[in-house]
């Protein structure tokens, strides 16, 4: 059984995936009180710490768990990317990079055999590519072999279009690969009948119009292994309720067809704030619609495709494919691959934010199993030299000027490797 410590643990999506893979989570920490309470509900066997990472003494953590340097198998979770420009300040002196600095310090002290850092795809261009480049440089200077990859969650069984950046590394001197996708993406449409929104939520009973009402599902026969996993042997379904829409809100939602958004509605049904946002101009004078499109607001989801990305706005903006209402908290949790017996603490806003911030457990489990079964935790090399082994950050054939800069910075870290001959393309 592998051991892990989770930093920036949130509600515990990553922890759940690693737990499902057989790991023992020794400790989890976060600064979000509601998220920590959620974590406690679902991981009573794990010690939790409500504390800023800057204030954690990792030498003390090592003593508390009787760990010596290099004995921890996995450090999971990654610091949120602040997304600021350094404005000429030296990167590590910029106080806005304190979370990454503390994360690096944790790695330096504990020296886990493996670490996994997950972040939004905006990490690739944050600080003009400096953030991810400096992070990788720091990891390699600590002796880690590192790979950086943008993953498409739907390729790993998550019924959701969700792109995230994974930085994976080990201090064991091993070359390694990321887990291979289990499905394929073709163009803009994901063609896999099993990894769809409908497959994720159709076995749920009807949602209740009564707030905080627990729905009881009887005589449940799982459709497949994924459905059985989601139901997790519980008949009481929590967080599966909605507030009935009225007036113009109901008119708007009723008018939406699959795949349509606010911009597809008649002008009299468009929200005033949407009209203003749709026509706003950015600092350089370019209209929003010429910079990738106006904000879409509400979206009627397709049932036979992966869901759009679950965020903290999912229960306001993502409209059920058949019913005239947004997704429920439980439906959003299922899309993120949280099983029905996973409980959430806090008000509705806090719960959906926890779900939206989480790493899908099935994605985390895939990585956890891949590392343990294919590589393990035994030093197989005498080489202690850290290096960037490679990066694969898009499936597209073009990149923006910002990403071209990031590409150059990361490629420069591999300038002495034969694998530099590989073509690296990034996408924003």
* Record: fold of 197-359: DNA Methylase; Chain A, domain 2 (3.90.120)
> Which SS3 state, helix, strand or coil, does residue 142 take?
coil
What is the CATH code for 3-185+362-421? 3.40.50.150
Domain boundaries, the chain: 3-185+362-421, 197-359
What is the reported pLDDT for 185?
53
Listed in sequence order, the residues at least 6 apart from 256 whose beta carbon sits closer than 8 Å to its beta carbon are 264, 265, 298, 299, 300, 319
For residue 286, give both structure tokens. 């370019």
Residue bearing the bigger pLDDT, 379 or 160: 160
Average model confidence (pLDDT) for the chain?
A: 87
What is the reported pLDDT for 189?
54
pLDDT tens per residue across span 287-300: 544 444 445 578 99
Looking at the chain, the whole-number percentage of residues with pLDDT higher than 90 is 66
Query: Closest Cα partner for 390 from 349, 354, 418?
Result: 418
User: Quick check: 353 pLDDT over 50?
Assistant: yes
Any catalytic annotation for residue 14? no
For residue 9, give both structure tokens. 């643990």
Instruction: Give the single-character DSSP code of 180.
Output: P
Position 191 confidence tier, pLDDT thresholds 50, 70, 90: low
The kind and range of the H/E element at 14 are helix 13-20
d(CA 50, CA 36): 7
Position 84 confidence tier, pLDDT thresholds 50, 70, 90: low
Active-site pick, 9, 14, 81, 307: 81
What is the reported pLDDT for 416?
57
d(CA 398, CA 287): 23
What number of helices (H) and strands (E) belong to the chain? Answer: 14, 12
d(CA 74, CA 72): 6
Highest mean pLDDT among 108-112, 130-134, 276-280, 389-393: 108-112
Buried b / exposed e over 359-396, threshold 16 CB at 10 Å, is: bbbbbbbbbbbbbbeebbbeeeeeeeebbbbbbbbbee
Q: Are 37 and 345 in contact (CB under 8 A)?
A: yes
* pLDDT-wise least confident of 102-116, 130-144, 149-163, 260-274: 260-274
Give the pLDDT mean for 158-172: 95
pLDDT tens per residue across span 299-309: 999 999 999 99
Give the pLDDT mean for 258-277: 80
């Amino acid at each position: 059984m592998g051991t892990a410590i989770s930093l920036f643990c949130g509600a515990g999506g990553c922890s759940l995936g690693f737990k499902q893979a057989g790991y023992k989570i020794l400790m989890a920490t976060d600064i979000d009180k509601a998220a920590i309470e959620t974590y406690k509900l679902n991981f009573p066997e794990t010690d939790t710490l409500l504390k800023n990472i800057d204030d954690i003494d990792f030498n003390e953590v090592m003593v508390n768990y009787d760990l010596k340097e290099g004995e921890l198998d996995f450090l999971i979770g990654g610091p949120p990317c602040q997304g600021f420009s350094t404005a000429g300040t030296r990167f590590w002196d910029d106080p806005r990079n304190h979370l990454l600095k503390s994360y690096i310090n944790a790695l330096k002290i504990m020296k886990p055999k493996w670490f996994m850092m997950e972040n939004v795809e905006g990490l690739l261009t944050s600080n003009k590519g400096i953030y991810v480049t400096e992070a990788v440089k720091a990891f390699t200077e600590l002796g880690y072999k590192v790979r950086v990859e943008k993953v498409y969650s739907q390729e790993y069984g998550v019924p959701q279009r969700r792109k995230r950046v994974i930085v994976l590394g080990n201090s064991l001197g091993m070359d390694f690969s990321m887990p291979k996708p289990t499905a394929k993406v073709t163009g803009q449409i994901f063609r896999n009948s099993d990894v769809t929104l409908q497959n994720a939520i159709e076995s749920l009973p009807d949602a209740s119009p009564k707030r905080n009402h627990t729905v009881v599902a009887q005589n449940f026969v799982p459709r497949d292994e994924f459905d059985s996993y989601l139901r997790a042997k519980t008949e009481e379904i929590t967080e599966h309720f909605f507030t009935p829409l009225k007036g113009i809100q109901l008119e708007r939602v009723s008018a939406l067809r699959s795949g349509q958004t606010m911009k597809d509605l008649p002008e009299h049904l468009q929200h005033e704030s949407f009209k203003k946002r749709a026509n706003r101009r950015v600092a350089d004078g370019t209209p929003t619609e010429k910079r990738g499109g106006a904000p879409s607001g509400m979206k009627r989801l397709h049932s036979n495709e992966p869901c759009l990305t679950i965020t903290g706005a999912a229960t306001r903006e993502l409209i059920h494919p058949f019913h005239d209402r947004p997704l429920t908290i439980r439906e959003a949790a299922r899309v993120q691959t949280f099983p029905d017996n996973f409980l959430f603490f806090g008000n509705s806003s806090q719960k959906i934010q926890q779900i939206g911030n989480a790493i899908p457990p099935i994605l985390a489990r895939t990585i956890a199993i891949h590392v343990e079964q294919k590589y393990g935790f035994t030093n197989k090399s005498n080489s202690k030299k850290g290096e960037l082994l490679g990066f694969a950050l898009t499936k597209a054939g073009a990149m923006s000027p910002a990403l071209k800069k990031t590409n150059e910075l990361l490629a420069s870290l591999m300038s002495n490797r034969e694998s530099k001959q590989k073509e690296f393309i990034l996408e924003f």
